[in-house]
Every structure is written in structure tokens, then in C-alpha cells.
Amino acid sequence: MTTNNKQRVTLFLNSSLLKHAKAQAVVEGLSLTNLAEKALVDYLPKETIIKKAEIKFEGGERIWQKLKKKQ
């Protein structure tokens, strides 16, 4: 993956977890970024499907029409 595809993020991690991750990155000869990316790729499923939920409540159609007008 090239740097052009990457996005900067801020994470708040437990200090001992961060220390452990940094040490493991050194052992594996990786940057902390590459170690975190590798861990996420290994952990996450290959595909995530998110289905749109249908939320029904009284007066919902009226609110939906207002939201559509704002777009």
C-alpha cells in the first residue's frame, strides 16, 4: 500500500498496549503504522456488509419528507 492511499488517524491506546505494540514492531522490523495495519488486515473480515435498517415510528413519513427536502 502506498502512502497516497493512507489517512492519518488518532487513536487513544492503553500505554502498556502501545509499549507492547512498539516492541513487537521492532522485533518484526516494521513501523508501528505497518504493524497496526497488518493487525487490522488480519483481524477484519475480507468483506463487511452493512444493511440499511428500516426504522418505523409514528409520524415517520412526515419527518422523512422534511429530511428529503433538506438534501
Q: What is the pTM of this model?
A: 0.62
Q: Are 21 and 36 in contact (CB under 8 A)?
A: yes
CB 30 within 8 A of CB 38: yes
> What is the C-alpha to C-alpha distance for residues 18 and 46, in angstroms, rounded to an integer?
26
Question: Each residue of 26-66: pLDDT tens digit?
Answer: 999 999 999 999 999 999 999 888 887 766 666 656 666 66
What confidence tens digit (pLDDT) does each residue in 12-28 have? 999 999 999 999 999 99
